[in-house]
C-alpha cells in the first residue's frame, strides 16, 4: 500500500464502474495529492478527481475531517471548472461531443463535491461537538456548491434539475433549524463578496436562477454572478410575510423550482413558503443605471474594470426586469407545428424570397465566362442555380410551439439539424406565413428536448439585394438584406449581415426600381446580423 502522505499520480481513465482506491487518508494528504496532479490532460484529471470523490463518499471519515478534505478539493474543482468552461460555456445547441464531455465533467465534479458536504449534515443534526464551531461554514459551502451547479447548467444552456433545487432548499432549511442562517463566514472563492452567510449564498443562488442564465450571454452570466456576491445579502428569505407595496419573491422549500416573482403573496401559504423583498436590490440596480446614464464609469460603481458602460446598462436593465417585474405572459394558444430555419442573412433571404442569393447587378456587363455559358445553352426562365445547395444547407426544421405577436416558444424532441445560439437570426414559418426574429433563449430541458424562445419582429420581411454606393468601378459584392416594413409597433428597419453598419453609409437596391437607403442608427447587433434604422434618399 502506498504512503497516503506521498502524492500519487493520477490513475488511468477507468474502463468500467469499478470503485477506485482512495489515495489520501487526511486533508494534508489530499492537499499534496491535488497539488501533484498534472493538469495538462484535463479530461484525465477530471476522471481521476471524480473517481476520488466517489471513493471518498464510500470511505468512513469523521465529519470534520471530511469537511476539511472537501475544502481542499473545492479549490481544485473551481480551477478545473474554469478550464472546462472554456470548452462548453455558451456553445450552440445541440452540443458536439467535446462540449458535452466538458459540461458533464463540470456537473459531475460539483455534484461529487456536494455529496461530501451532504455527508456532514446528519452529524450536524445529531449535534457532533466537533462541528459546533463550523456548522455555518459547512452549510454555506453546501449552498455555494448548489449555486455553482446553477451556474454550470446556465453556462451549458441546460435547465436546472429539480433535484438540485430540492437539495439547495434543504441546506437553507437546515441553516434555519440550526439558527446559523445569518452567521458570517469567510470564503476565499468569493473575494469581493459582502456579508457572506448561508442566507446570502442561498439568495445568490435564487437570484441567479431567477435571472435565467439560459437567456444570457456567457459574459452576462459571469458579471451577474460577480455582482450578486455583493448584492445577494439585500434579499432575505423570511418565513413570514411582511408589509410591502412592491413585488414579492416567493420560494417553496418543498418544491423543485427556484424563486418566482409575484405581485401579491398567496393569502393562505404553506409553512414551506419563504418570502423575499427585492426592493433594496432594485434600488441598488436602478441607482447604478441612473449614474451610468449620467456618465459614471462601471469601475466607479463597483461593476468591474472589464465591462463597458453599454454592456452594464443593457445587463442591469435586464436584471431589473427579472428581479423586480413579474414575468410577462408567454404566447397563448394550442401548440402546433412551427418550421424554423437558421443560417444568417443568406438563409433568411432564401426563405423569404424563394431564391438562393447569388445576385448580380443588372447594370454591370457580363463576364467572358458568363457570355460563353449563355451561348452554350439556351436560357431557362427563372432558373435558380443555387437552389438545391441552399435547400440542403438551410433546411426547414420541424418544431412544436406557439408563435405570438412578438414572441415564439418552441420545443423539439430530437436532434436539431441547425446549431442554435443566443441572438442568432431565425426564420419561422407557420401555416405558410413567414416571420423573422432572433433567438432570445436556448435551454436543453432533457437529454433530447431542446427549447427555444424567439423574439419576432412585427414587420413583414421583404428580400432585397443591396450594393454599397461608392466610387465608379467599385467591385463591392452585393449584400443579402431584409426590409422589415413599418408597423404600429416598430418603424421600418433593415436586417443586414454582421459588420455592415457604418453611419451615413448608403446602400442601393440592385433590382428596379432602384431604392437608396442611408444607414442612420444601429438598433441591434446580433450574432449573425445587424438591425439598422435608415432614411430613404432620392
**Residue where a domain terminates, one of 440, 456, 472:** 456
Average pLDDT, the chain: 89
Binned at pLDDT 50, 70 and 90, residue 532 comes out as very high
Mean pLDDT across 81-107: 95
Binned at pLDDT 50, 70 and 90, residue 13 comes out as very low
One domain for residues 113 and 81 = yes
Q: Is pLDDT of 174 > 50? A: yes
User: Could you report the per-residue pLDDT of 496-530, keeping only the tens digit for each?
Assistant: 999 999 999 999 998 888 999 999 999 999 999 99
One domain for residues 222 and 107 = yes
Cβ neighbours, 10 Å, residue 257: 13
Q: Which of 208-217, 390-399, 409-418 has the lowest mean pLDDT?
A: 409-418
One domain for residues 344 and 402 = yes
- Identify the pLDDT of residue 19: 61
Binned at pLDDT 50, 70 and 90, residue 207 comes out as very high
Residue 93 lies inside a defined structural domain of this protein: yes
**Residue where a domain terminates, one of 438, 456, 474:** 456
Binned at pLDDT 50, 70 and 90, residue 8 comes out as very low
One domain for residues 286 and 433 = no
Specify which residues 537 forms β-bridges with: 516
One domain for residues 230 and 173 = yes
One domain for residues 447 and 487 = no
Residue 155, C-alpha cell as written in the block: 453556462
User: Could you report the per-residue pLDDT of 482-505, keeping only the tens digit for each?
Assistant: 999 999 888 999 999 999 999 999
- Identify the pLDDT of residue 473: 47
Q: How many helices (H) and strands (E) does the chain have?
A: 14, 15
Cβ neighbours, 10 Å, residue 447: 9
Q: Which of 218-222, 465-469, 480-484 has the lowest mean pLDDT?
A: 465-469
- Identify the pLDDT of residue 42: 93
In the chain, how many domains are there? 3
- Identify the pLDDT of residue 12: 40
Q: Is pLDDT of 366 > 50? A: no
Mean pLDDT across 256-280: 91
- Identify the pLDDT of residue 365: 52
One domain for residues 450 and 483 = no
**Residue where a domain terminates, one of 431, 456, 481:** 456
Binned at pLDDT 50, 70 and 90, residue 368 comes out as very low
The more confident residue out of 269 and 50 is 50
One domain for residues 430 and 468 = no
One domain for residues 129 and 258 = yes
Residue 35 lies inside a defined structural domain of this protein: no
One domain for residues 425 and 506 = no
For the chain, give the percent of residues with pLDDT over 90.
76
- Identify the pLDDT of residue 264: 86
One domain for residues 342 and 274 = no
Residue 492 lies inside a defined structural domain of this protein: yes
Residue 381 lies inside a defined structural domain of this protein: no
Three-class DSSP category at 410: strand
User: Could you report the per-residue pLDDT of 396-407, keeping only the tens digit for each?
Assistant: 999 999 998 899
Residue 50 lies inside a defined structural domain of this protein: no
Residue 86 lies inside a defined structural domain of this protein: yes
Q: Is pLDDT of 419 > 80? A: yes
Cβ neighbours, 10 Å, residue 388: 10
Three-class DSSP category at 103: helix
User: Could you report the per-residue pLDDT of 316-344, keeping only the tens digit for each?
Assistant: 999 999 999 887 777 777 789 999 999 99
Mean pLDDT across 4-12: 39
Residue 533 lies inside a defined structural domain of this protein: yes
Residues in the chain: 538
One domain for residues 342 and 234 = no
Residue 187, C-alpha cell as written in the block: 470564503
Residue 166 lies inside a defined structural domain of this protein: yes
The CA distances from residue 332 to 214, 335, 445, 448, 454, in Å, are: 22, 9, 20, 24, 14
For the chain, give the percent of residues with pLDDT over 70.
91
243-248-249 Cα angle (round to 5): 135
Residue 493's Cα: distance from chain center in Å?
Answer: 28
The more confident residue out of 11 and 83 is 83
- Identify the pLDDT of residue 17: 53
Domain that holds residue 227: 61-324
Amino acid at each position: 500500500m502506498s504512503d497516503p502522505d506521498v502524492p500519487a499520480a493520477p490513475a488511468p481513465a477507468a474502463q468500467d464502474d469499478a470503485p477506485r482506491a482512495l489515495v489520501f487518508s487526511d486533508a494534508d494528504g489530499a492537499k499534496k495529492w491535488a497539488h501533484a496532479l498534472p493538469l495538462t490532460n484535463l479530461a484525465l484529471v477530471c476522471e481521476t478527481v471524480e473517481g476520488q470523490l466517489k471513493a471518498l463518499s464510500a470511505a468512513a471519515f469523521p465529519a470534520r475531517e471530511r469537511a476539511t478534505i472537501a475544502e481542499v478539493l473545492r479549490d481544485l474543482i473551481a480551477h478545473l471548472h474554469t478550464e472546462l468552461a472554456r470548452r462548453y460555456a455558451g456553445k450552440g445547441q445541440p452540443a458536439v461531443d467535446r462540449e458535452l464531455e466538458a459540461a458533464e465533467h463540470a456537473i459531475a465534479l460539483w455534484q461529487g463535491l456536494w455529496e461530501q458536504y451532504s455527508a456532514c449534515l446528519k452529524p450536524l443534526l445529531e449535534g457532533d461537538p466537533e462541528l459546533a464551531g463550523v456548522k455555518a461554514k459547512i452549510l454555506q459551502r453546501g449552498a455555494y456548491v448548489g449555486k455553482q451547479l446553477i451556474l454550470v447548467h446556465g453556462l451549458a444552456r441546460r435547465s436546472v434539475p429539480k433535484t438540485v433545487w430540492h437539495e439547495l432548499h434543504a441546506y437553507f432549511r437546515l441553516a434555519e433549524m440550526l439558527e446559523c442562517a445569518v452567521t458570517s463566514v469567510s470564503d476565499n472563492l468569493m473575494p469581493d463578496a459582502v456579508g457572506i452567510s448561508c442566507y446570502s449564498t442561498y439568495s445568490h443562488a435564487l437570484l441567479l436562477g431567477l435571472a435565467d442564465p439560459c437567456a444570457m450571454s456567457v459574459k452576462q452570466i459571469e458579471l451577474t454572478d460577480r455582482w450578486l456576491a455583493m448584492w445577494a445579502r439585500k434579499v432575505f428569505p423570511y418565513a413570514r410575510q411582511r408589509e410591502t407595496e412592491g413585488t414579492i419573491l416567493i420560494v417553496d422549500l418543498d418544491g423543485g423550482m427556484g424563486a418566482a416573482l409575484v405581485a401579491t403573496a398567496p393569502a393562505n401559504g404553506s409553512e414551506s413558503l419563504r418570502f423575499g423583498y427585492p426592493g433594496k436590490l432594485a434600488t441598488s440596480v436602478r441607482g447604478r443605471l441612473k449614474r451610468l446614464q449620467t456618465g459614471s464609469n462601471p469601475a466607479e460603481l463597483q461593476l468591474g474594470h472589464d465591462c463597458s458602460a453599454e454592456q452594464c446598462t443593457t445587463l442591469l436593465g435586464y436584471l431589473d426586469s427579472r428581479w423586480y417585474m413579474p414575468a410577462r405572459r408567454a404566447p397563448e394558444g394550442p401548440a402546433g407545428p412551427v418550421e424554423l430555419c437558421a443560417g444568417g442573412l443568406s438563409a433568411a433571404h432564401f426563405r423569404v424570397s424563394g431564391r438562393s442569393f447569388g445576385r448580380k447587378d443588372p447594370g454591370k456587363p457580363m463576364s467572358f465566362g458568363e457570355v460563353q455559358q449563355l451561348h452554350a445553352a439556351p436560357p431557362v426562365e427563372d432558373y435558380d442555380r443555387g437552389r438545391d445547395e441552399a435547400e440542403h444547407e438551410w433546411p426547414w426544421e420541424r418544431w412544436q410551439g406557439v408563435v405570438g405577436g412578438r414572441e415564439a416558444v418552441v420545443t423539439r424532441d430530437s436532434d436539431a439539424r441547425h446549431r442554435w445560439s443566443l441572438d442568432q437570426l431565425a426564420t419561422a414559418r407557420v401555416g405558410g406565413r413567414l416571420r423573422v426574429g432572433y433567438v432570445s433563449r436556448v435551454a436543453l430541458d432533457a437529454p433530447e428536448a431542446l427549447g427555444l424562445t424567439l423574439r419576432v419582429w412585427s414587420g413583414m420581411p421583404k428580400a432585397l439585394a443591396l450594393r454599397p454606393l461608392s466610387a465608379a468601378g467599385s467591385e463591392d459584392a452585393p449584400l443579402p438584406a431584409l426590409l422589415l416594413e413599418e408597423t404600429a409597433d416598430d418603424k421600418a428597419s433593415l436586417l443586414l449581415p454582421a459588420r455592415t453598419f457604418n453611419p451615413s453609409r448608403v446602400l442601393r437596391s440592385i433590382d428596379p426600381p432602384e431604392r437608396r437607403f442611408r444607414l442612420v442608427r444601429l438598433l441591434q447587433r446580433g450574432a449573425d446580423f445587424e438591425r439598422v434604422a435608415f432614411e430613404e434618399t432620392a
